Amino acid sequence: MTMREQTMNCPVTTGNPQALLDYAARTAAPEQASVLARHMAICPECARFAEAQSQVWSALDAWDAEPVPSDFDERLYARIDAESRRSFWSRILGDSFAWKPAVSFAGALATVAVALVLVVPPNRVDQPSVTSPDTARAELDAEQVERALEDLEMLRQLSAGTSGGSSQAL
Amino acid sequence: MKYALQFVALLLVLVSCATAQPFRARAKDNRAPGFIPPHLVMERLSRMSPEERKRMLDRLPEDKRRITEERLRELESMPPVARERLRKEFNDFQGLTPEKQQELRNLFQRFSKVSEERRHELRRELNRLRSMPPARRAARIGDEHFRSEFNDEEREILQGLVETLPPPPPAPPRRGRPDSQLVN
């Protein structure tokens, strides 16, 4: 083992894997590649790192990119230009947007929503509001009391004599 | 841009909900200013001081105020057991549809026109019929004795009342609890 090999800092443990990346990309200088190869023979971490990186490069080598059409740039710039000329609503709603079905659909949904609101009784309206006794007194209507007493009188008259209470009319 | 369509639809639904609910709430609130459910009226009344009650009743015309005050006095003087029973009957009555309630009021008007002596008989028969199971009640209404005992008008009133009134509350307990409140 040479002095350089002995004194080489491990790229993985020192957090400097650039040498290994160069090695896997086959861009490292021959001397450096040789030193690294010897180091990896005794350092499993570096060997694994270099192996994984080599697999990435192999995969990239095997990948065939789709050929770019000759008029790609021309079409791209034409599209960018057309996009910048489109109206605000056209950009928001898209090219495939059609008002007629959208309005029909939204109308149907709105009808369902209104029907639900009308059919389902809102509790916050039907339930008596929780108010302070003073407010409650202020809200009480004399005519309501009169009507309630009339109904009570009727029920009392109709059931008089059944409870053992007075049968005298209210 | 399907998301745009969904966005518009969702927006419409939200707007519908936000606008329809307050309209409905206002419509309900407009039934009567300061509307209080009937079954809470007497309970609210019982919480009033004599001065507050007088102030409220003073808004009524003189004759109505006098009758209302008299009825309140009678109500307060009822024995607790009778008052409790009446409270239950009142709550059951409030559970009827407005149409049924009005039907009962109409029948009661006809009942009130009958002489006191006959009213006593009608009341007794009504209580008897209400305590019967439906089959027995139907047999009773159909029998000759019933027909001979009550005239057409009385039979019609009785039948209407029996069909419209809610089932009578269970028999009251022997001893009523002390209760300083009005009905309800």
The answer to whether B184 and B45 are in contact (CB under 8 A) is no
In chain B, where are the structural domains located?
1-95, 97-165
B67 pLDDT exceeds 80?
Answer: yes
Residue B85's φ and ψ, nearest 5 degrees, are -65, -40
In a mutational test of the B interface, the residue from A89, A103, A134, A144 whose CB has the highest number of chain B CBs within 10 Å is A144
Per-residue tokens: B65: 């105020």
Q: What's the rounded Cα separation, in Å, for the pair A53 and A18?
A: 11
Paired tokens of B9: 């639809």
- Cβ(A45)–Cβ(A13) under 8 Å? yes
Contact (CB<8Å) B16/A114: yes
Q: Which two tokens stand for residue B97?
A: 């549809």
| Pick among B2, B26, B42 to test the A interface (most A CBs inside 10 A) | B42
Q: What is the DSSP letter of A71?
A: T
Which of helix, strand or coil describes residue A95? coil
Residue B132: which residues within 8 A CB-CB, separation 6 or more?
B140
* Contacts of residue A106, Cβ cutoff 8 Å, sequence gap at least 6: B8, B9, B12
Question: Mapped to the 3 state alphabet, what secondary structure does A123-158 carry?
Answer: HHHHCCCCCCHHHHHHHCCHHHHHHHHHHHHHHHHH
Tens-place pLDDT, residues A91-138? 777 766 676 777 778 788 888 878 877 776 554 444 444 444 444 444
Q: Rounded to 5 degrees, what are φ and ψ at A81?
A: -65, -45
Q: Which domain holds residue A24?
A: 3-61
B126 residue type, one letter: L
Higher pLDDT among residues B140 and A141, named by residue: B140
Q: Tell me how far apart the alpha carbons of residues A144 and A126 are, in angstroms, rounded to a whole number.
A: 17
Amino acid at position B45, single letter = L
Which one is predicted more confidently, B3 or B92? B92
Which of A111, A147, A152, A157 has the most B C-beta neighbours within 10 Å, making it the best mutation to test the interface with B?
Answer: A152
- ipTM exceeding the 0.85 mark: no
Residue A152 within any structural domain of the chain: no
Is residue A39 within 8 A of residue A31, CB to CB? The reply is no
Higher pLDDT pick, A112 / B176: A112
Tell whether A36 is covered by a domain. Answer: yes
A/B interface, count of CB pairs below 8 Å: 178
| pLDDT at position B111 over 90 | yes
Looking at per-residue confidence, does B104 or A65 come out higher? B104
> Can you give the pLDDT at residue A15?
82
How many other C-beta atoms can be found within 10 angstroms of the C-beta atom of residue B13?
Answer: 17
CA-based nearest residue to B124, from A151, A154, A161, A166: A161
**Cβ contacts (< 8 Å) between B78 and chain A: which residues?**
165-166
User: What pLDDT, in 10s, does the model give residues A4-56?
Assistant: 544 578 888 888 788 888 888 888 889 888 888 888 888 888 888 888 888 88
Instruction: Name the residue facing B25 among A97, A122, A136 (closest C-beta).
Output: A122
Question: Which pTM value belongs to this model?
Answer: 0.47
Query: Over pLDDT 70: what percentage of chain B?
Result: 72
Q: Is residue A127 part of a domain?
A: no
CB-count burial class (<10 Å; 0-12, 13-18, 19+) for A65: exposed
Cβ separation B85–A162 shorter than 8 A: yes
And the tokens for A150?
């009339």
pLDDT band at residue B7 using 50, 70 and 90 as cut-offs: low
Banded model confidence at residue B17, pLDDT cuts 50, 70, 90: low
CB B136 within 8 A of CB A170: no
Q: Is B86 on the interface with A (CB under 8 A)?
A: yes
Query: What pLDDT score was predicted for residue A141?
Result: 78
* Cβ-defined contact of B74 to A170 (cutoff 8 Å): yes
Selected residue with higher pLDDT from B146 and B41: B146
Structural domain includes residue A9: yes
Q: Is A145 on the interface with B (CB under 8 A)?
A: yes
CA pair distance B4, A94, nearest whole angstrom: 8
Residue B33 C-alpha from the chain's centroid: 21
Count of structural domains within chain A? 1
| Residue A152: CB atoms within 10 Å | 26
Check if the beta carbon of residue B162 is closer than 8 Å to that of residue B136. no
Is A100 domain-assigned? no
**Has residue A76 been placed in a domain?**
no
User: Quick check: is A148 in a domain?
Assistant: no
Establish if A149 touches chain B: CB-CB under 8 angstroms: yes
Q: Per-residue pLDDT for B30 more than 90?
A: no
